[in-house]
Amino acid sequence: MDAKVVVSNIRKNFNALPVVDGVDIAIADGEFVAIVGPSGCGKSTLMKIIAGFEQADSGEVAIDGERVTRPSPKGIVISQHGSVFPWMTVQENLMFGLNGDDHGDKAALADHYAAMVGLKGFEKSYPHELSGGMLKRAEIARALVVKPEILYMDEPFSALDALMNLKMRNELLRVLAEERHTVLLITHDVEEALYLADRIMVLSPRPTKIQASFRVEQPHPRKLSSPELQQLKEDILTQLGL
């Protein structure tokens, strides 16, 4: 597959402190890449640079061959902090990003994506009326409804309990099976990366570099207890110094 996102030797300092130190990544169209690394290594900074919200001091990021200088309409970020507007209903939140007149019936499209993530019947509900897991579903639907080519996911499920985290992983895989997206996931959870990703990249401590890369060949749905995934987990944890 052709490269969708190409990151070439990017470096970033904050107040003369090196944070990102020469990172190269190529992500294929439709590939799901997870990035793991120690706390404070610069994972989120790296994603902000790739998504166009931060500028690297040197090097470049390109999407479909075009250099990234600002956030691109081809990508959208789903973060751990939440992005829905509390004064809007689920339907209104999903319709918010549907600018222009080329979306057809915006309410119907919003309701379609609400149903896709399991929120059918909650279209008129406000965020405060939803559980934490339902809120996360609404955020995913809000991202998907604008049909982005790239999903940037920055520890999106970290605030959820273990059971809801697993449910949301399965929900994400189900949605990705219906609609093809290129995905870059930042996570501290090695098992989450193994469960979801096609490829896992391990970052070094700050200033961060790509320390190792692992391809996950097992088809979905995956059993984390399988010998192959257990071995991959041990290999990744070894790279993380654990």
Looking at every residue in the chain, the average pLDDT score rounds to 89
Q: Is residue 190 part of a domain?
A: yes
Q: Is residue 9 part of a domain?
A: yes
Is 59 a residue whose pLDDT tops 60?
Answer: yes
Check if the beta carbon of residue 36 is closer than 8 Å to that of residue 3: no
Tens digit of each residue's pLDDT (9 = 90 or more) over 67-113: 999 998 889 988 777 778 889 999 999 998 786 555 568 888 888 88
Same domain, 45 and 61: yes
Question: In the 3-class helix/strand/coil scheme, how is 58-103 assigned residue by residue?
Answer: EEEEEECCEECCCCCCCEEEEECCCCCCCCCCHHHHHHHCCCCCCC
Q: Is residue 137 part of a domain?
A: yes
Q: Rounded to two decimals, what is the model's pTM?
A: 0.88
Q: Span 101-126, mean pLDDT?
A: 83
**pLDDT value at position 100?**
57
Same domain, 164 and 238: yes
Looking at residue 161, which CATH number applies to its domain? Answer: 3.40.50.300
Same domain, 105 and 89: yes
What total number of domains does the chain contain?
2
Same domain, 49 and 160: yes
In which domain, by residue range, is 132 found?
A: 81-147
Tens digit of each residue's pLDDT (9 = 90 or more) over 142-172: 888 888 899 999 888 887 788 878 888 888 8
Q: Is residue 67 part of a domain?
A: yes
Same domain, 43 and 131: no
**pLDDT value at position 39?**
84
Q: Is residue 134 part of a domain?
A: yes
Same domain, 35 and 122: no
Same domain, 48 and 159: yes
Counting residues of the chain whose pLDDT is more than 70, the rounded percentage is 96
Same domain, 211 and 155: yes
Q: Is residue 68 part of a domain?
A: yes
Same domain, 133 and 227: no
Same domain, 61 and 6: yes
Same domain, 157 and 210: yes
Is 204 a residue whose pLDDT tops 90?
Answer: yes
Is 34 a residue whose pLDDT tops 80?
Answer: yes
Q: Is residue 175 part of a domain?
A: no
Locate tokens 């999407």: which residue? 63
CA-nearest of 113, 117, 154 to 134 is: 117
Same domain, 34 and 119: no
**C-alpha dist (Å) from residue 55 to 12, 13, 26:** 8, 11, 18
Is 124 a residue whose pLDDT tops 70?
Answer: yes
Q: Is residue 5 part of a domain?
A: yes
Ranking 48-57, 59-68, 165-174 by mean pLDDT, the lowest is 165-174
